[in-house]
Structure formats: C-alpha cells, structure tokens
C-alpha cells in the first residue's frame, strides 16, 4: 500500500480573490445575494470590477484555502486545480507552494484566464462572492493523479467544482481512486446556491463520503428541513462524520452514535467572514489526521475560523501553527 | 489661467506590491539591505519570489500611494505613470481609479510587464523592497500632459522615477510645465540608495522645488551631515518648505523663518512600515491645499502615516476621510 504523504489532498477551483469593502446599497444596486457565491461571465466581472472600490488580491479558492490552512498549521497537503499560465496564475501557484502545499496540476497554456472572485465585504463582515471561473473549468480527469490520491489520507472535494461534465468526471475519478486505495473522502457542498443547482447529485455524493462539512443553512437545504435539529437528524449516519458549522453558535459534530456541540472560539472583531468554513475544515482535518477526539478537532477548526474572520481574506500570511501549540 | 482641478498631480512608478512576512535570516541570506528599495532584474525577481512566503498583492508605488491617500482623504489627485496592459496593470489602474484618482496614462501594449515590488516585512515591521521596474521605465515626456499639470496645484515627483533618460525627461518636462502655469513643485528623494546614485542631480532638483519630503536619513545623506540638526540647517531655505519625517520622533517642518516640530501620532502596534512616508505626504499636502497651518498639515500627515503602519501594505481599502473629520 502506498505510504501516506499528505494529510489531505483537495480538488477545487484555483482562484485569486479580489477583496474590497462595500456598503449594502452596492449589494442591492447590483442585485447580489448577500453571503453567497455566484458564477459570473467575463462581461459581468468587468462591470462589477469597474464599480468595485480599491481592492487587495489574495489567493483563494475554497478547498485551496483549506489546504493552505492545513499546511500553515504544520500538516501536509496537496492540491489539484487549474490556473492559466498568466500573472494571476503565477500568484496562485506561488502562494500554494510557498505555504507548503504540493501543487503540480499543469496550468492551461491557452484559453480563459485564471479565475478571480470579486468579493464585496459589507459592514456586517459578510462576504458576497462573484466568481469568474475562467481556466478552472478546463480541469478534467487527466489532471487527477492516482499516486497523489493514493498518498493522501483524505481526498477533500469542494461542491463549487461540481458544474461542468469534465470537472464532475475529475471528482468522480478522485473519489473512485480514494476508495480503491482505502482512503477517506470528504466533501463540502460549499454553498446554498450550489445545493439548489445540484440537489440530488449532492445527496448522492454525500452517501459516498466519510466526512461532510456544511453550515447550518446548507444542511437544512440539503434535507429540506426547517430547523437545525431536524436537519442534523437527517444527515446522521449518512456519512461517518457530519460537521455542521453554525457561525457564532459554534459547530456540531454528528455521527451515528453521538452529537457533539462545541462553542465558537472568542473573536474580538469580525472583519471579513471569507474563508471561515474553509479554515474550520482545515483545523478539523488537521486534528483528525493526528488522532484527536472529535471535540478537539472541532475546537481547532473553530480557532482557525475565528482567526481568519478577524482579517481581510481567506489566507493568513503568518503560520497558523501557534493555534496547534495552544490546543 | 487654467482652473485648479487637482490638489496634487504625481509622477511615479506604477507598481503592484507583493507583500509577505519574512525573518531577518531571509534578509541576510539573500543579501538584502533592510529598510531600503533596490531595483532588480526579472531573473532576480523570480529567485526572490520563489523563496518568498505566501503573499498578498496590493497596488503600490510611492507617489501613487500618496495620491491614493489624498483621494481617500477627500482631496483631488491625478497620476502619471506607466503599466503594461496585463493583469497586474489592470489591477493597478483599477485601484487608482477606484480610489478616485484621475489616471489616464496609456498602458504599454508591448514589452516589459507591469512593475512589481517584492516587499519583505520583518518582525520589527521594517520593509525591504525589491522592485522589478518593468513597464515603468518606458514612461517618457509624451506621457506628461500639459493640461493636467496646469490644472494641478502641486506637481509631486518621486525620486524613484529618476533612473532613465526618458523618465528624467518626463520629470523635467513636468517641472517646467508646473512653473510655466504658476504651480508648485514638490519632490521626495525617496530613498538613501536613490540619493547615493544621483546625489548632485537631486541637490539640483531640490533647488527648483517649493516643497520637499524626506526622512531624517535622507536629509543627512543629501547634505552629508552627521546630525539631524546640521542636516535640517543645511536644507533650510533651499526650498520654501522642507518636511523631514523622523519615524517615532514625529516630523519637523523647516522654512526660512521657522522650525516646527510635531510629535508622532499614537500607534497601537506597528505591523508594516510600507507607505508611511507616502501617506505622510498625502496628509500634509491635503492640509496645505486647504490653507491649513504647517503644524496642522504635519499633524494630519502623522495621523495618515500612523494609520497605514498598523496594517499590511501602503493602501487602505477604507476611506481615510475620518482622519480629516477628527483633525
């Protein structure tokens, strides 16, 4: 059996985030749905960018953020995702590798530019994300490398990647290979919009997963339940471990046998919620791969989320390893 | 006479900053001189970037930061500087315009890429800057638009721009036009390295200026003096107003008639000193154009500098106008 070299391998969109502050009027004026992610075409991206305030660029992408988080905590991680060989692609690639994530997917040499996500952060610290998916959509199953999957304890899949026949093929191949090599599969449905667009497919995917990360609204949407309690019961036992994040209410871990509620970590001031779920997943999986109890995993996840929402963007420029030492 | 439309027009390098944290060992290992800016070629930029930690991209450029600061305070500003029509050029252009700065220099459509500055921020919050100047060096006097200079109360020139015959021509033309239209000229020598490389030329330039911004080390280097007091006496009267910044010691304004010392604004925690001088100049010139006393100008300059060094990068994503209201 292949030796485990990576705690987690992730498959996701390779995106550079373009972050700015905006007011609620902007969200209304441009017909955005606050707190969600939508895919936009290049024309719409140009219009939104033209009207966006001054911005900062930070590498992003949901699964990519999670892997950067794991590496930053001191774990090992690998990423599969597609950029173009342009300036933003170089930035994304640099940041992954500089954080210590193995990233060897060949960049596209023609076609659409590297993806960017225009993120508007409102005074309530909510982020509204508009993604021009660009080169990400050209990922296909030839980019999924069997030896990397075989060498990864967990293969982590972001729901955002589930939109093209070719990207779905890539995900299916990765899940198949993970099972073949006796590895775990983790999945996040990513967003309520994604669930609405791929409802039955996501329910099917979750049945094949060992681990699912979703927030409260996402679990309610998945199982068409009105209350958190009903939703938590609906997902119980479908996958080994369901991790439900609840913002300031903390998180709840649901397994066939138990329900573990963990309060949120203290936060001085929420600046930007971008990446909260991604970094929670990083902390949780980091702990899980080290044999920690589920409660301890959830606590580290919560600390990582608390850390990231106190600054702008979903990546930290300084290592997160002090959170592990404190745990 | 042309109506004044801009408080300040600046000529400078159009750069996207690539910011990361590093340790002192990195500075030593790569032979960098802490706290300064040096120009590097593409090969060296690739080596440094490859070894740099995860980074954030924020538009920069010394004069450009100053203009963004003036616009952010609620003033009016215009910029002349050269990007290429690439992704980083689009980012730079967007951020200038989104902050409210008029920026109409046509981008280069071929040749070198948009400039980037690799900035290593050490635990002492000092920044060490390595600039691949790229498209900036193709600025020439045809980019200096007479009607913009005529419409600007102050034409502000950064010493960093003084390195190519064509960029020197552009600066000379701008100074000539400012005088022709009865406008003020302001200059910053930018950096001790720049002064060492262009010593006599900078001394000559300063004699033609109304306003000079320099830090203590720069004034000492310009006039070859060992103490601050001697350096301040040496520059007295050479230009109408010499503004000398002294980091945590505040700033000193020297005119033929008087010397005004203003303490530094309080700072909770210095994160990154990138842009401190640029933002000081923004606050000072904002006040000057509104007829404030020199002491009040220096105080606002100090507040702007204090604001910017408490976060990463030389631009703020939120307006600075609350600093004016508090003044």
B87 in contact with A, Cβ within 8 Å:
yes
pLDDT recorded at residue B46: 96
Rounded Cα–Cα distance for residues A188 and A284 (Å): 13
pLDDT category of residue B262 using cuts at 50, 70 and 90:
very high
pLDDT category of residue B325 using cuts at 50, 70 and 90:
confident
Q: Which of B282, B269, B280, B283 is CA-nearest to residue B312? A: B269
Q: What is the ipTM of this complex?
A: 0.95
B69 pLDDT more than 90? yes
pLDDT recorded at residue A95: 98
Minimum-distance CB partner of B86 among A49, A53, A87: A87
Are A88 and B86 a contacting pair at CB < 8 A? Answer: no
- The domain spans of chain B are 6-10+65-105+137-326
B151 in contact with A, Cβ within 8 Å:
no
Q: With beta carbons under 8 A apart, name residues in chain B contacting A315.
A: 54, 56
A270, A307 contact by CB (below 8 A): no
Q: How far is A66 from chain B (nearest CA, A)?
A: 14
A107 in contact with B, Cβ within 8 Å:
no
How far separated are the first and last CA of chain B, in Å rounded?
A: 32
Tell me the mean pLDDT in the region B245-267: 97
Q: What whole-number percentage of chain A has pLDDT above 70?
A: 100
B107 in contact with A, Cβ within 8 Å:
no
Q: For chain B, what is the radius of gyration of the CA atoms?
A: 18
Residue A102 phi, psi (nearest 5): -70, 125
A269 in contact with B, Cβ within 8 Å:
no
Are B54 and A317 a contacting pair at CB < 8 A? Answer: yes
Are A95 and B54 a contacting pair at CB < 8 A? Answer: yes
A91 in contact with B, Cβ within 8 Å:
yes
pLDDT recorded at residue A77: 98
B73 in contact with A, Cβ within 8 Å:
no
Q: How far is A21 from chain B (nearest CA, A)?
A: 7
Are B317 and A19 a contacting pair at CB < 8 A? Answer: yes
Minimum-distance CB partner of A57 among B53, B57, B316: B57
A287 pLDDT more than 80? yes
Q: With beta carbons under 8 A apart, name residues in chain B contacting A53.
A: 98-99, 317
A1 pLDDT more than 80? no
pLDDT recorded at residue A116: 98
Listing DSSP states for A282-305 in one string gives HHHHHHHHTT--HHHHHHHHHHHH
pLDDT category of residue A125 using cuts at 50, 70 and 90:
very high
Q: How far is A274 from chain B (nearest CA, A)?
A: 15
A135, A107 contact by CB (below 8 A): yes
pLDDT recorded at residue A325: 82
pLDDT category of residue B167 using cuts at 50, 70 and 90:
very high
Q: What whole-number percentage of chain B has pLDDT above 70?
A: 100
Average pLDDT, chain B: 97
pLDDT recorded at residue A117: 98
pLDDT recorded at residue B37: 92
Q: What is the pLDDT of residues B99-117, one digit of tens each?
A: 999 999 999 999 999 999 9
A95 in contact with B, Cβ within 8 Å:
yes
Taking the CA of residue A100 as centre, how many other CA atoms within 13 Å lie in the half-sphere pointing to its CB? 21
Are B20 and A317 a contacting pair at CB < 8 A? Answer: yes
pLDDT category of residue A120 using cuts at 50, 70 and 90:
very high
SS3 B8: strand
pLDDT category of residue A67 using cuts at 50, 70 and 90:
very high
Minimum-distance CB partner of B54 among A53, A113, A315: A315
B40, B130 contact by CB (below 8 A): yes
B1 pLDDT more than 80? no
Rounded Cα–Cα distance for residues A309 and B82 (Å): 36
Q: With beta carbons under 8 A apart, name residues in chain A contacting B53.
A: 98-99, 317
B6-10+65-105+137-326 has which CATH code? Answer: 3.40.1190.20
Are A57 and B56 a contacting pair at CB < 8 A? Answer: yes
B2 pLDDT more than 90? no
Average pLDDT, chain A: 97
B318 in contact with A, Cβ within 8 Å:
yes
B58 in contact with A, Cβ within 8 Å:
yes
Are B98 and A52 a contacting pair at CB < 8 A? Answer: yes
Minimum-distance CB partner of A86 among B50, B87, B313: B87
Are B55 and A95 a contacting pair at CB < 8 A? Answer: yes
Q: How far is B114 from chain A (nearest CA, A)?
A: 10
The CATH T-level fold of domain A6-13+61-103+137-321 is: 3.40.1190
Window A:14-53, CB contacts with B under 8 Å: 19-21, 49-50, 52-53
Minimum-distance CB partner of A56 among B53, B58, B114: B58
Q: With beta carbons under 8 A apart, name residues in chain B contacting A119.
A: none
SS3 B223: helix
pLDDT recorded at residue A105: 98
Q: What is the pLDDT of residues B301-311, one digit of tens each?
A: 999 999 999 99
B133 pLDDT more than 90? yes
Rounded Cα–Cα distance for residues A159 and A163 (Å): 9
pLDDT category of residue A2 using cuts at 50, 70 and 90:
confident
pLDDT recorded at residue A327: 74
DSSP A125: S
Q: How far is A68 from chain B (nearest CA, A)?
A: 9
Q: With beta carbons under 8 A apart, name residues in chain B contacting A49.
A: 94
pLDDT recorded at residue B15: 98
Minimum-distance CB partner of A56 among B54, B57, B86: B57
B177, B150 contact by CB (below 8 A): yes
> Which residues, 6+ apart, have CB-to-CB distance to B148 below 8 Å?
B6, B9, B78, B80, B102, B104
Q: What is the pLDDT of residues B198-252, one digit of tens each?
A: 999 999 999 999 999 999 999 999 999 999 999 999 999 999 999 999 999 999 9
Q: With beta carbons under 8 A apart, name residues in chain A contacting B50.
A: 94
- Interface mutation vs chain B, best among A53, A87, A90, most B CBs within 10 Å: A87
* H helices present in B9-140, as ranges: 24-29, 42-51, 62-73, 87-99
Q: What is the pLDDT of residues A151-174, one digit of tens each?
A: 999 999 999 999 999 999 999 999
B327 pLDDT more than 90? no
pLDDT category of residue A326 using cuts at 50, 70 and 90:
confident
Q: How far is A36 from chain B (nearest CA, A)?
A: 22
A87 in contact with B, Cβ within 8 Å:
yes
Tell me the mean pLDDT in the region A293-322: 96
Minimum-distance CB partner of A55 among B50, B54, B95: B95
Burial zone of B175 (CB within 10 Å; 0-12 exposed, 13-18 middle, 19+ buried): buried
pLDDT recorded at residue A7: 98
Are B313 and A56 a contacting pair at CB < 8 A? Answer: yes
A4 in contact with B, Cβ within 8 Å:
no
A8 pLDDT more than 80? yes
For residues A279, A284, A290, A291, the Cα torsion angle rounded to the nearest 10 degrees is 180
Residue B106 phi, psi (nearest 5): -65, 135
């Amino acid at each position: 059996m292949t030796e485990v070299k990576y705690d987690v391998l992730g498959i996701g969109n390779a995106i550079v985030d373009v972050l700015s502050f905006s007011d609620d009027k902007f969200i209304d004026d441009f017909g955005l749905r606050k707190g969600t992610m939508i895919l936009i075409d290049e024309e719409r991206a140009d219009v939104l960018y033209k009207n966006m305030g001054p911005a900062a660029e930070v590498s992003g992408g949901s699964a990519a953020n999670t892997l950067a988080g794991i590496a930053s905590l001191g774990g090992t991680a690998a990423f599969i995702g597609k950029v173009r060989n342009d300036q933003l692609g170089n930035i994304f690639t640099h940041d992954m590798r500089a954080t210590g994530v193995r990233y060897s997917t060949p960049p596209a040499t023609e076609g659409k530019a590297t993806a960017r996500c225009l993120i508007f952060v409102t005074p309530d610290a909510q982020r509204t994300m508009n993604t021009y998916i660009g080169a990400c959509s050209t990922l296909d199953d030839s980019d999924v490398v069997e030896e990397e999957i075989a060498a990864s304890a967990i293969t982590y899949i972001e729901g955002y990647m589930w939109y093209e026949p070719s990207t779905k093929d890539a995900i299916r191949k990765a899940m198949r290979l993970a099972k073949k090599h006796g590895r775990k599969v983790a999945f996040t449905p990513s967003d309520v919009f994604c669930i609405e667009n791929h409802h039955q497919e996501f329910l099917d995917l979750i049945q094949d997963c060992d681990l699912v990360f979703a927030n409260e609204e996402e679990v309610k949407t998945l199982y068409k339940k009105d209350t958190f309690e009903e939703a938590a019961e609906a997902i119980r036992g479908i996958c080994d471990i369901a991790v439900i994040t609840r913002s300031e209410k903390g998180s709840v871990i649901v397994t066939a046998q138990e329900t573990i509620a963990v309060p949120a970590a203290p936060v001085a001031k929420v600046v930007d919620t971008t990446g909260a779920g991604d970094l929670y997943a990083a902390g949780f999986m980091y702990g899980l791969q080290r044999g920690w109890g589920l409660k301890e995993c959830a606590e580290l996840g919560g600390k990582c989320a608390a850390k990231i929402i106190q600054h702008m963007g979903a990546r930290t420029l300084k290592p997160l390893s002090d959170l592990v030492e404190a745990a």
